[in-house]
Structure 1
Amino acid sequence: MVEAASETKVKVDLLISPIGELATPYVESGPARGADMQNIRQVHDAAIAVKDGKIVHCGKRDDVLSKIQADDATVIDASGKLVTPGLVDPHTHLVFGGNRHQEFAMRCQGKTYKEIADQGGGIVASMRGTRGASVSDLIELGHERLKRLIEHGTTSCEVKTGYGLDKTSELNMLEAIFELDKMQPVELTPTFMPAHAVPPGTQREAYVREVIEDMLPAAAKLAEKKGFPVNEIYVDVFCDDGYFTLEDTRQIFEKAKALGMKLKVHADEFASLGATALACESGADSADHLLAITPADIDRLSKSDCAAVLLPGTSFFLNLKDHAPARTMVESGVIVAIGSDFNPGSCHIFSLPFIMGLASLKLKLTAQEALTAATMNAAYAIGRGASIGQLRTNYQADIAVWNVSTVAEIPYNMGWNSVAQVVKKGAPIL
């Protein structure tokens, strides 16, 4: 954490000093597994120096100040405050049209997710709202939601399509994500997910063929047109009872890989169909949800580089008793990350600090493990682990300043927003 002395003082753009407590997950390389998830480097009376959007020095304040020239730098006083990496949300559905507040009331009256879907609610309800929205509408709605994420400390997030469920609407969603990435500070990782549900009046097999033969190639072409690297786009499939089969998922994965896209999967949310094993075999970066994961698949994950993205907010919002077996995963050596699953129906929660609180209460993660899961490991789950998610030299200066004094207060304060300031690529954005 504290670097060796340098003979030449570096002229910096941003200085955060003094810092009450600097806290960051830290491993030499790769994501954190097992006991390493608890490994938070804590430095009291600290400082962070930033140049050209990257951290050049961080550690004890006197050491940092001795190595820099900060006469013209923007200075943030974080005395008495906690400073952590900016939060990374590896699973969101924040681009959509419409509103599903009525489903919340139905659940409060005892209706299940399936019963609501059978009555025309669920993903198909968001499909109707999204198909009725223009690209500019989706951009405007997404932009307002991203402002709320910033207020709660999120500096990078993954965003899925999946509420259009036809070629035109899915591409509109993807275009909105590309445009949002350019126009506001939160860095977005796009995920193309037409295989989120089967649209009404369509046979599943025919829809899967359309996804493979038409939609995926069209998404790759749109990315090229918009100047977004195809190899930085994910493809996701909802592989579960009532949605897409294991063979559907395998075929979609094969086409996505042939196009140079990366892989994720909604797996084992309601039933275990083998999607987690397929994710491990296929080189997917993450398998998400995992409430119904088997011990054998936990073992597979522990021996793979595929992250488990756990979403405690969804179980909470759906009022489910079951949660993903996070403690078993951590103790087995699985790469565990947490995300919001922010979406209009099953988890209308965008606050990662609140999700960290749920991760402690419901998944039994410690505060330190929850921070690691929402920063370093979340960054790894979206292919960004080499540049964000930690406070260390040469990492992007994505930083959250908190009105608390220690990491344990973040989940403890889950009922109120304790984020004071947010820095993205070395620039204050809150």
Structure 2
Amino acid sequence: MKKLFICLTDFQILNALNLQVNNENNEDADIFFVTNKQGNEELAARLQATKIFKNVYLFNNSKISGLHRYFRNLTEKKYKNSFISAFTESAREVFYKICSKIYGLEYKVNKKVIFGKEIDFSIYDRIFCLDKRQIVVDVVNAVKKKTNGKCKISLLDEGTSTYWRSILETHFPIDDIYLYQPNLANYYYDKNWCERFKVIPKIDWKDQKFRKIINYVFEFVELEKNGNKLLEVKNKIIFFDQNWDPMPKYFDHLPSVLRFLLHKPYKKHKKESRFYDAKMEMFRIVANNCLNNEVMVKLHPRSPDDFVEDYKISECSMAKNLKVSWEVFMDNCSFKNNIWITVSSTALCTYKTAFCNHLEDIPMVFLYKIVYKDKMDFREDDEFFEKFQSRYPGSVFLPKTVEEFQEIYAKLVTKMSQRQ
């Protein structure tokens, strides 16, 4: 019997590597992840080459170029595929869904595995995952069925949302939870969970062996170019992007028929665009009040390159390796005289929670109280970040208003300038 890691993000892949190399390397394991960003087929090949996992599986989770995409491209005057090819793609997807209903979950999963051999769902006695996508539920249920329910399920740290109570609302029973800092979880003192926490070993900045592994897997080559010396990130204000989408321009001039056909995507984009616009408003404040200090933007790994254009309206630079997990970047850097700002990005928190032996305490500003206000219920966020702030007093800031943010930011930037 063996373990299966089901990963939805690069951070989860990093955590799977961490557990397998530094904590639980006495058991064989496979890893399964999805095509949610460019380059994941090459990533799968590199993971396979390390031989850390016995089998690597990549599931094709990409959106099809069907009729929906065809009509969207038509309104944007992007003639990328023909109606016939779009219709064929949609028909093929319908056929796949019908066959999945007939032949079951094993067919549904294996039919779209594009890297790795056919999965034998009967060989696993433990799964590490997070119930955030239907594909995770499908794989878990396929394994549970083939093992007569004897497979244990462990939740695997995927960032701040793993510390919310809502993560416990799953489609399958949970046996334990692997986190970097369990005592920050909103449900840490819940009697039903307090004895089910497992601690993931922190990533040590001094661990050259592990750094070499993750640099190869995620194709981070800058360290080697720097003579294998840590990259120095000095005197920078870094704004961490989150991948909400702006309202697509094609909705501005949609004919009534297409507006009716695309009413669900329109509602989704309208909701997301409110967060995007509020985030960019905060970024403009950062860029316009930096006192000539360098402002750098770190895109979310799944953010499209189109975001760069919007950020570059203001004077700023873009962080290299835009598609590499920030945790990989952090493991290769030494930071001095920085300010980090975000709405609620996990990347900032992991500097303090997932690493040991870091060199400098960095001031961090979280803007969720401003951006989320009147748009969503953020009580879970609040509970976590206020606990996070109390754990790291003096370096974590949670402004409630734009005015408070401007005041905090002005003091931090002035202090940064004085330290140069």
Structure number with larger C-alpha Rg = 2
> Which interval holds the TM-score relative to the shorter structure?
under 0.3
Decide which structure has greater helix share.
Answer: 2
Give the TM-score normalised by the residue count of structure 2.
Answer: 0.24
Decide which structure has greater strand share.
Answer: 1
